[in-house]
């Protein structure tokens, strides 16, 4: 099974092509990861084309797309979501959304020496806030995703932090963003079973800034 993975939930523009065997880990055939928070729209499709060319595969050979669904800032995240949706529609293949923080946690790895090794994954939400989720020693998400100020993120029992946030006084472990292999690994069970994908819904978490206009102000004669 050939799977294209994309993610634009962070400052990294991520694209990769993986071969998913019936058993075992995804095999990455080609990947492009470019850190540029202001160029998701300009870089994603060229990265996809480079990945396909580098792997010697045609776009119509794809069997599925996996897309990081965030959480992430609106402008960047929607680039990956819309691109994945468009490819799925054009090629008549399924698109599987996965929480981008889950992919970071998968790559960070579960467990570790010294008892409980609970992991916190944090990424930049801008506006002096962070997106975060917490994972147990088995790598399962037990809380989140949420958006909060760093000082309001609960740290009880947490021993490590991944995702590129240096604002907390905890050991920081890689990675800083999702990668294609982790994205596909998180979705592997659904891909292999060919289960219908869930709705392609972005995890913005914040309420929209725009609000309906209020009633017109009454104008009194001078």
Q: Is residue 76 domain-shared with residue 36, that is, in the same domain?
A: yes
Pair (92, 6) in one structural domain: yes
Residue 130 lies in a domain: yes
What is the residue range of 82's domain? Answer: 2-100+177-193
If asked whether residues 106 and 77 sit together in one domain, one would say: no
Most confident of 126-140, 157-171, 174-188: 174-188
Q: Are 10 and 90 members of one domain?
A: yes
**Is the residue at 210 inside a domain?**
no
With CA atoms as reference, report the closest residue to 81 among 205, 206, 200: 200
Whether residues 156 and 181 fall in one domain: no
Could you tell me how many residues make up the chain? 222
Whether residue 116 is found in the same domain as residue 55: no
Do 85 and 146 fall into the same domain? Answer: no
User: Which residues, 6 or more positions from 103, have their beta carbon under 8 angstroms from its beta carbon?
Assistant: 7, 68, 178, 179, 182, 183, 185, 186
In angstroms, how far is the first alpha carbon of the chain from the final one? 74
Residue 135, number of CB atoms within 10 A of its CB: 26
Q: What is the pLDDT of residue 31?
A: 98
> Would you place residue 33 in the very low, low, confident or very high pLDDT band (cuts 50, 70, 90)?
very high
pTM of this structure: 0.90
* Alpha carbons 133 and 93: distance in angstroms, whole number: 30
**Is 170 part of a structural domain of the chain?**
no
Using CB atoms within 10 A of its CB, is residue 212 exposed (0-12), middle (13-18) or buried (19+)? exposed
- Tracing tokens 């923080």 back to the chain, one arrives at 101
Q: How far apart are CA 6 and CA 66, in angstroms?
A: 6
Domain annotation covers residue 131: yes
Pair (94, 27) in one structural domain: yes
Strongest mean pLDDT among 28-42, 148-162, 195-209: 28-42
- pLDDT tens figures, 57-110: 999 999 999 999 999 999 899 999 999 999 999 999 999 999 999 999 999 985
The DSSP bridge pattern shows strands 158-162 and 2-7 to be unpaired
Helix 40-55 and helix 74-91, axial crossing angle in degrees, nearest 10 = 40
Q: Assess whether 112 and 137 both reside in one domain.
A: yes
Q: Which residues pair with residue 15 across a beta bridge?
A: 6, 32
Instruction: Quote the number of domains for the chain.
Output: 2
Are residues 183 and 96 part of one domain? yes
CATH of the domain at 80: 3.30.420.40
DSSP helix/strand/coil, 112: coil
110 DSSP 8-state letter:
S
From the list 8, 132, 135, 126, the residue with the least C-alpha distance to 69 is: 8
- Whether 180 and 14 have beta carbons less than 8 Å apart is answered as yes
User: Which DSSP state fits 37?
Assistant: T
63 plus 108 within the same structural domain: no
Residue 162 has what pLDDT? Answer: 94
């Amino acid at each position: 099974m050939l799977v294209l993975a994309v993610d634009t939930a962070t400052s990294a523009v991520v694209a990769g092509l993986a071969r998913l065997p019936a058993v075992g880990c995804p095999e990455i055939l080609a990947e492009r990861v470019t850190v540029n928070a202001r160029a998701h729209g300009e870089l994603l499709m060229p990265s996809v084309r480079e990945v396909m060319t580098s792997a010697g595969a045609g776009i119509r050979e794809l069997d599925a797309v996996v897309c990081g669904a965030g959480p992430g800032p609106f402008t960047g995240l929607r680039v990956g979501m819309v691109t994945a949706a468009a490819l799925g529609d054009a090629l008549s293949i399924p698109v599987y959304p996965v929480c981008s923080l889950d992919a970071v946690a998968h790559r960070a790895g579960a467990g570790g020496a010294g008892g409980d090794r609970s992991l916190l994954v944090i990424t930049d939400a801008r506006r002096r806030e962070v997106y975060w989720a917490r994972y147990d020693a088995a790598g399962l998400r037990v809380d989140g995703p949420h958006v909060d100020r760093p000082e309001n993120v609960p740290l009880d029992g947490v021993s490590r932090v991944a995702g590129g946030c240096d604002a907390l006084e905890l050991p920081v472990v890689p990675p800083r963003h999702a990668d294609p292999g982790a994205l596909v690994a998180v979705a592997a069970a659904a891909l292999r079973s060919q289960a219908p994908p869930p709705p392609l819904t972005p995890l913005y978490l914040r309420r929209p800034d725009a609000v309906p206009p209020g009633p017109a102000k009454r104008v009194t004669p001078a």
